[in-house]
Structure 1
Amino acid sequence: MTVDSEILNSLFQAKLAELRDLAIEHDIPKTGNVEQLRAKLIGKLVLSHIDLSDSGIKSMQNNDLTEVLGIFGIKKSGSKKSKMQRLWLHLNEDPKKLNVSNIGEMTREELHAYCVSLDLPRSGTKNVLMGRVAGVLSSEEKGWGKVKKSLRTGKKEATPNNIAAPTNEPAPAIDDAAEEVVMVVEEPEPIIPSPITLDEGGSESLVKLESRRAELTSHLREFLLIGKEQDEEDISAFIEDLGRLGFGIQHAVVRDRILDELQQMIALKHQEDSARSTLPGSWREKQALRHLEDVRPKLLDDLDIILEKRGGDIAAARVDFEKSALELKLDLELAAISGRVHGLFDLQVSLRASESEMDPVTSRRQRALEMLYRGTRDSSKEAIEQLNKVEVQIEAFERVVETIVRRSEGAFGPTEHALLIRFLERRGWDANQTEVRPRLLAAAGILAAEMGYLDVADIPSLPTTISLDNEKVSEVLESMREVLTEMGRTPPTVESAIEDKEEHSDARVKAKLDAADALLRKLNHSD
């Protein structure tokens, strides 16, 4: 590729003021830093015959890209695609303004535009696009935006000038000098490994982080359930845990990305929480909520299967649950829907955790208390006070029951019942109340059975009683009268019942008198 090496060399060694004067002279915008201005002038004055537009860069051959990168004085090794990306970045961007640490502030539209210019896939969410752009910026770090130092500090005498050469020197010598300058431009790069990122390996870790983004989102939601989002120590502990799970937190770019994702998740959670407590704000949201209610039973069934399959891997279970929700055509882009879906997941996980975390001791005491309070709606205040005392001192009550049952070698009959009640009375409990005693014995039986000292069949049962008040009795009598009337019979009244009773009494007296008279007649006849 033939270029004007004299102009090229002068541009490499020119200061900012000189470059601005040249820009004004050739009607080129003088905005940007010194390297941006130098690149514009090289493109205008040296490579004017080359199409350096986006489409022109993409249509260049690999060899042409290598030569053009060398003329601009930047890194020229790598694949064809990386060369195209590096050249575009050098011509259009400032490395101080476009880097991995500040692309998180860009909108999806801006990131999409960069993906178009850098020949990257354009589909996906904002975070997906951000990961792609970050991968390019990380891999091309320090490969663009600044020409080689050897070109900027080159010797002036090596550059051809307008001074006439000696007459005894053949003209081709100038061409040789020019060729020599071109070779300086094309000098091989020093064998110094260029850093991939600010810390070696950050680009690869970012790619891995992007591939595990769904899992990261799940971990972030788990953290926000119990973690303190304003506590730096709590956040640091959470990030360290992510490191143990294989996330490359040893790289600053990865830690920064995780913190950015955390801030976005905090904002999303706030939107979801507010959306759950408000009415639908659009027709789309209303229809989505209606669809959620329609598929809720199926969603819960899927969740049970997922939790059974994943066991304790909550992050993987949440990812599977999101996939299941998407398969059911739920619009998770709406905060009102995603908040409810993840709230449903969190609730089921919490319930399962509560069940699994309940140890056997707590479980048997809970069952004993359920028996203790069964059917106490109509119990007296004094009885409830005694039952509350047992609940407060359930641990001591359990020890007493265990001691009694062990001494009786597993028996829990009337003798042990009496011993338990007497012991509690000596401790100031009114345990022998009719409403309290059977409940205490039943609760004690459950504790003894759960501890393995007693068969389930030997647990004392609560007495079954039927309590009827006067109003209920009257209602029953009225119903019976109505039945008799429908059968064509006259229901008895109080007066008729009294008369029947008096007649029956008179008949009995008369029968007794007749029997006495018959006995007297028999005796007289025998005489």
Structure 2
Amino acid sequence: MVDKGELLSELYQARFDGLKEIAVAYNLPKTGSVETLRARLIQHLILDEWDLSPEGIGNLMNNELGELLGVFGIKKSGSLRARRQRLYLHLNHDAKRLIPESLDSMTRDELHAMCKILELPLSGAKQTLLVRVAGVLASQDGGWGKVKKSLRRPRSNAKALPSPASPVPKPSEPKTNPTHDHEAVIEAAEHFVSEHPEGWTFEEETELRTELAQEGIPISKAPIASTLDEALRKGGIEETDLAEAPSMVQVAEAGKEEHTLEVEALLLDIKARLPEIEAAGRDFLAVSTTSEPDDLQAFIQSLKSHGFATDVPAVQDSIRTTLMDLEFRSESEKQAIHTMPNSWREREALRVFENARESLRGQLDDTLAAHNGDLVKARMAFEDVGRTMNLDLSIPSVSGRLHALFDLHVDINQAQALQDPAIARRNRILRILQHGAVHLSNTERSTLDRLERNIAAFEELVETILESSEGTFSEAQQALVIRFLESRGYEVNTVDLRPRILACAGIIGAELGFISPAEIPRIAPGIMISDTQVDAIVAELKALAEAFKPVERTEITEPEMEIASSVADASDRLKSARSKIDHIDDLLARLRG
């Protein structure tokens, strides 16, 4: 019979070919990496008496886990759950393949099963489960998947080789009756709860567990520990009449909420229109993130205008989950664009994309034109074009390049549009229409907004009127513009809107060459006066100018009289100046209306 200690030393130091030969000799699979094969051989040849399945690992005690981890030659420290996680990962996964970046290729069911084995919370969407598993992998990084170098280092003297840990004996069956232990635990828990009707502290519960352990009850065993926790939880609920459980009791998570048929129908509709949500979500993520709750909620509510029942909480949760997954995928796409292919499949998919790039560019203009500026629908259609060209959009580097090409083309079209004379003319017209709009009434602002949405039709109206009038834009043509707009429901014949509309119409006529810039109607000033008022104002201004002229005097007077008269004249001039200033104030007040 082969000594397990010598065999373990040989397994520590053997290379890949040697491990394969040992696996063939013992009729064991030889697939996997060198460390995966080494762990498999240690499990079946050295620790063959142990149940190292996921369920068996969950039943191991803390000291047993430490000894087993030492036999496998990996890190032994950590909490009980961390040790279980490390042992499971070492026996069932390859450390070079199972990395946080590779979790995105797993389905939600696979992540859910892994969370269950790793003793992690099971609620949440795929992204939430992925983050939890990635956290475990990050915390266990370097602690599994590779035997310690000190165990793999060969020695010149065979006797000086590191002696393997003695095989851990298989735990014997407990001598006590399991049924009796469960009953004793339940009875002790009920008595403990009755003595603490208002809850208990951590120290009190620890004292209870210590007393049970001193009585010989193996409370560290998973079945006994589960029975104790359940008894404490049920007892606490009964004592408080289904009130809030004590802080030490971990209440099990509630089951998944069951939706009504109407809600299920809405969720199915969301699933059917998922590409539309993702296309709109990419536009949202271009300027914001899901970590901005106000922006996210506003975006979800904006989908109501597209036919989504965003008032239903389940629908909101589904859209929110979709956006979180999309954000994670978008980040992966951005990173994949600047990295080398990680697999043969990705390299070939990128090659197909590069071959189809020119065709994609050629169809992009037609796609944008077919959807009349609706970028969401245009993006969806462009994805369909990519699929028809056999592009694998499930690969982040391919889908990222496809959407980057779409965004780049949209930006280029916008830059070209700014240089278009028609676009520049419309921008100038809109600036005049909306100038100082905050001071207008709500009705006038809504009229301007409606006219802005139909600015192309307004240009056609002005062009038609000027063509029929042979290039003149007199009061008759101006009145025709206003009457036509009024017939279409535009309330533009007001003091504030009429000058704006006519000025914009004049700009259109001048830009199109029908009239000269001098014929563009000017926006009326804020002060309106009649012709008679103008004559009266001019006459008063002339009188004021005459009054300010100095009066020449030739009389010769004595010095004392001259001083007295100068003082009197100064007083008169002061009074006259005051009266004139008051008169000017009255005149300005009249000018202001």
Fold equivalence (TM over 0.5) = no
Bigger Rg over Cα: 1
TM-score bucket of the superposed structures, by smaller chain: 0.3 to 0.5
Question: What TM-score results when the alignment is normalised by the length of structure 2?
Answer: 0.36
TM-score (norm 1): 0.40
